[in-house]
Amino acid sequence: MNRRLLLALAGFIGVAATIATTAVAGGGGSASTIPVRSTTGDTMSFTAEGGATLLADATTVDHWSGSFTDPTNHVTYPFTMAGHAPSANSSSTTPTDLYPVRVEFAAQAGLALDGTNRVAAVTASPIFRNTDYSYVSGSSGGPGVLSPGNVGQLEDVTMRSQFNKVGTGYHVLLGEPTVQATQTIQVPASKGSAFVTTTGTGVVYGLVDFGWFSSKLQEILGKTHADPTHLPIVLTDNVMLFDAKTGRCCTIGYHGASSSANGNGKQQVQTYVFAAYSTKGVSSTLPYIADIHGLSHEVAEWGDDPFLNNIVNPWLTPTALQYGCTNLLETGDPVVGIGFNLPGNTFDAWNPNADGTWHPEDEVFLPWFARTAPNTTSELTQSPSANIGRYTLLGDLNPYAAFRQPATGC
């Protein structure tokens, strides 16, 4: 697969196919000659960038710190999370800035995939709108009870379930997003291309060199003077990233943190998120890779590890072998592609693959990484269990045995 991707990026014309105007993601745009490339064999994944060690008076998002002792190796691990400590039963709101990015591909004479077209969907999605999570009509494990009485934004609901705070004053909220001016990046032919799947769906997507895109993201945050007390979300329309050195594909999102000493010598730590709004059908093997799946993953990981310095006992899971043996507290990585359905997605009706729902990702909870059993930290499982509390948001609806118990070693 890696070699195939690199060859495709080197030889657009040889594999070109003419795609009709209506095939362009979102139903807009103009007819163009776009290389055909199947995503079968790709590994949909996420990553992280940078990291920061906080000074006591740092200017950044609200956060709190704690620690746990892993019973399997007796090591104590500190951690920092966004918001206020659950024990305080108080609410925090992080101001949020949404940066739509229009990606123009020189390889296709400037054909564009424009994140602006996804702003209305994202702002109306469960990322920002209150939703009832008591029951879901579908998930990777089928329909059923999820989190009774848990109503709110997706990240708020996830954090309250993680710390068994449903029905309390504890909230981790995102502010109503301020939509910033659309940022345009022009991708040289050597750094990326638009493609169309061969799955019969006609889904147009983009692939861009991760390192090159990352530098552009930092330029965007710099020239717009991003506020370190806000969470910037950089949004593309079905444009994913690949590793130019290995050919590994495809990164749907990442979160990051960077530190500077600007502002009267006071440390400023900027946290941020990048995510592609995924057109349903772009993955031929993972049906939950759609719409806000990537964004839900990255917002959850920002919440549990905003500064990228939460280290845990190394873990490995067969559901996410692409990460290998890792010691990062990244709550979405073990459950990539595992998700559930929420109602109300009327924005993708143009897409024949759409089902009218949102497709957020399941998220793994702190006690899974901490090897805590029984789990008396998180919300109870839907049916009585030996470990008492659930290890992911889906609880019993997650179909994999690895998440009915704490993480295992490598």
For 341-350, write each residue's pLDDT tens digit. 999 999 999 9
pLDDT at residue 3 in the model = 40
Confidence check: pLDDT of 248 > 90: no
For 114-181, the DSSP string reads EGGGGHHHHHTSTTTS-EE-SEES-BTT-SEE-STT-EE-HHHHHHHHHTT-TTSS-EEEEPPPEEPP
Higher pLDDT, 173 or 247: 173
Per domain, the residue ranges of the chain are 2-403
pLDDT at residue 17 in the model = 31
pLDDT at residue 56 in the model = 86
In tens, the pLDDT along 107-148 reads 999 999 999 999 999 999 999 999 999 999 999 999 999 999
Run of H or E including 253 = strand 249-260
What mean pLDDT value characterizes the chain? 90
Higher pLDDT, 149 or 25: 149
What does the longest C-alpha to C-alpha distance in the chain come to? 61
In tens, the pLDDT along 287-331 reads 999 999 999 999 999 999 999 999 999 999 988 888 889 999 999
- Lowest average pLDDT, out of 65-74, 151-160, 319-328, goes to 319-328
pTM for this one? 0.92
Pair type for strands 96-105 and 178-179: parallel
User: What amino acid is encoded at 150 in this protein?
Assistant: N
pLDDT at residue 263 in the model = 53
Higher pLDDT, 238 or 6: 238
Provide mean pLDDT across the span 179-208: 91
Higher pLDDT, 319 or 193: 193
User: What amino acid is encoded at 69 in this protein?
Assistant: T
Provide the token pair at 231: 């969470």
Residue 398: pLDDT band with limits 50, 70, 90:
very high
Nearest to 113 by CA among 277, 272, 359, 290: 277
In angstroms, rounded to a whole number, what is the distance separating the alpha carbons of residues 372 and 390?
A: 11
